[in-house]
């Protein structure tokens, strides 16, 4: 049996349960493809992160990187759990505001924030703008002036540390589109510029070294680097950083080949590294911020699909095709990401064959899994793909004009639709007829 399915996630009927709800019933009630979140897992991960900080008595923020899964309901849950959020666009800010999430608890990231986005952020009293480049320093200065506002800012630096992970999702190496470079003196120049603007309150510095990181060493490295930069800034400019933000990227288990530490163990290592690094300096213990996205949304999510056609080839793994694919989960095609999948009606059924789980989209690369061992399956069976909660729905598209799936939150045995399934009408909603010239 799949080791990720615990005994308490199987009900008397032998079906997989999610948040106490029968997955087969969910598929019947809401249709497939369906994205289901076990809300208690979102909550427990946020609480686990917070507990480490509280036990260590340091000032902190657990800022959920909402690009992993952004929806009104998600911001509501994060708010209820006392979390901060990272936002990276006007759309994410708008969605948070719709959820009643105060942007005072939000950090605004991005390497090309537009004038309009900065206006939206500043008008709504954004908690902090994580400034990425020189153009943004000018633009944000202009916006603050026009709105007669004061803005908290933090500088994003590229620490020159690369996380040993999939190269497509690395952002911390020196040659990165994100942040100010240290070696060439850009970061110092940027600090001088933001300090010189009386409309900016410079609260600290930030780095994000990548994603799906399994090694504590990467975070210890970034923590040490940020402290050494803060120390250098204090000595050179008399500037005292109040916040050290080490970003996100805490790895999660997708398949049995992934063996990450519990995400909260990373936090423990980060706190220890920062406390040790500041000892010989005059910095004191700064507030420590983290930005987990995947580790909060990923393990809480399940994608339910219905099996349709099948293609058998002599000597090759069969294609078992489901009613979704790259439109609801682009990660396998984009990053060669892997997942584990179980038969929702009987996750304990004896495994019979290795198959490829194919999507229904018109791309040969639309394969969700290249090797999944499954029991015998037939058309109409429901498959549950595990740990799909991060960067799945949030990257969904309407390729082939397929409607995007519905999203359901399940908790304490009750389910609620939180994003409706798109209809065909929704798909043509923005289309305008072309006035043909005769």
Ligand X SMILES: *Cc1c(COP(=O)(O)O)cnc(C)c1O
Residue of minimal Cβ distance to ligand X: 293
SS3 state at 128: strand
| Least distance to ligand X, CB of residue 16, Å | 25
Strand partners, 244: 205, 288
Nearer to ligand X, 5 or 169 (CB): 169
Structure tokens at 220: 């210890």
Give the DSSP H/E element, type plus range, for residue 52.
Answer: helix 39-55
Evaluate whether 194 touches 206 at the Cβ level (below 8 Å): no
Nearest to 388 by CA among 434, 429, 328: 328
**Contact between residue 186 and residue 232 where contact means Cβ atoms under 8 Å apart:** no
- Kindly tell me which of 297 and 333 has the beta carbon lying closer to ligand X: 297
The two three-digit tokens of residue 275, written as one number: 């406390």
**Distance in angstroms (rounded) separating the CA atoms of residues 290 and 223:** 11
For ligand X, the closer CB: 45 or 372? 45
Q: Which is nearer to ligand X, 177 or 236 (CB)?
A: 177
φ, ψ dihedrals at 388, nearest 5° = -95, 10
User: Which residue in the list 1, 174, 362, 428 is annotated as catalytic?
Assistant: 362
What Cα–Cα distance (Å) separates residue 307 from each residue in 325, 353, 360, 376, 378?
A: 12, 15, 10, 11, 7
- Classified as helix, coil or strand, 2 is coil
Are 222 and 247 a contacting pair, CB within 8 Å? yes
Contacts of residue 158, Cβ cutoff 8 Å, sequence gap at least 6: 171, 172, 173, 174, 176, 178, 179, 180, 181, 182, 207
CA 4 to chain centre: 20
H-run or E-run covering 144: helix 134-146
Catalytic status, residue 21: no
Residue 24 vs 155, nearer CB to ligand X: 155
Of 247 and 286, CB closest to ligand X: 247
If we measure between CA atoms, which residue out of 155, 136, 178, 133 comes closest to residue 226? 155
Instruction: Please count the helices (runs of H) and the strands (runs of E) in the chain.
Output: 12, 20
244 neighbors 156 (Cβ within 8 angstroms) = no
Residue whose CB is less far from ligand X, 19 or 293: 293
Could you list the residues that contact ligand X (CB under 6 A)? 65, 67-68, 86, 109, 208, 211, 247-250, 291-295, 390
Q: Which residues are catalytic?
A: 362
């Amino acid at each position: 049996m799949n080791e990720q399915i615990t005994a308490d996630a199987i009900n008397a009927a032998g079906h997989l349960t999610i948040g106490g709800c029968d997955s087969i019933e969910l598929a019947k009630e809401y249709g497939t493809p369906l994205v289901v979140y076990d809300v208690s897992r979102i909550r427990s991960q946020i609480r686990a992160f917070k507990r480490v900080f509280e036990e260590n008595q340091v000032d902190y923020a657990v800022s959920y990187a909402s690009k992993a899964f952004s929806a009104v309901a998600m911001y509501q849950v994060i708010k209820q759990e006392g979390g901060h959020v990272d936002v990276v666009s006007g759309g994410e800010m708008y969605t948070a505001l719709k959820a009643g999430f105060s942007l005072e608890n939000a950090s605004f990231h991005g390497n090309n924030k537009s004038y309009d986005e900065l206006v939206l952020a500043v008008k709504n009293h954004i908690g902090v703008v994580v400034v990425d480049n020189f153009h943004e320093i000018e633009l944000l200065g202009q916006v603050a002036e026009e709105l007669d506002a004061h803005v908290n800012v933090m500088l994003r630096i590229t620490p020159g540390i690369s996380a040993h992970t999939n190269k497509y999702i690395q952002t911390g190496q020196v040659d990165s589109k994100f942040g100010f470079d240290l070696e060439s003196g850009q970061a110092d120049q940027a600090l001088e510029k933001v300090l010189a603007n009386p409309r900016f309150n410079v609260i600290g510095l930030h780095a994000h070294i990548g994603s799906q990181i399994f090694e504590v060493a990467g975070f210890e490295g970034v923590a040490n680097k940020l402290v050494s930069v803060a120390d250098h800034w204090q000595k050179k400019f008399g500037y005292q950083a109040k916040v050290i933000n080490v970003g996100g990227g805490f790895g999660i288990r997708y398949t049995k080949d992934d063996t990450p530490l519990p995400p909260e163990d990373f936090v423990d290592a980060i706190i220890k590294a920062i406390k040790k690094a500041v000892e010989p300096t005059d910095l004191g213990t700064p507030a420590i911020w983290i930005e987990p996205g995947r580790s909060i949304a990923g393990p809480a999510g399940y994608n339910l699909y219905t099996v349709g056609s099948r293609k058998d080839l002599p000597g090759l793994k069969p294609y078992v095709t489901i009613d979704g694919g790259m439109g609801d989960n682009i990660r396998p095609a984009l990053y060669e990401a892997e997942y584990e999948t179980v038969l929702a009606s009987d996750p304990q059924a004896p495994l019979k064959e290795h198959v490829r789980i194919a999507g229904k989209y018109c791309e040969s690369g639309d394969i969700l899994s290249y090797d999944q061992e499954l029991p015998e399956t037939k058309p109409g069976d429901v498959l549950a793909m595990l740990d799909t909660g991060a960067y799945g729905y949030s990257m969904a598209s309407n390729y082939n004009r397929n409607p995007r799936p519905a999203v359901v939150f399940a908790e304490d045995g009750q389910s609620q639709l939180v994003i409706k399934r798109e209809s065909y009408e929704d798909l043509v909603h923005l289309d305008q007829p072309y006035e043909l010239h005769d």
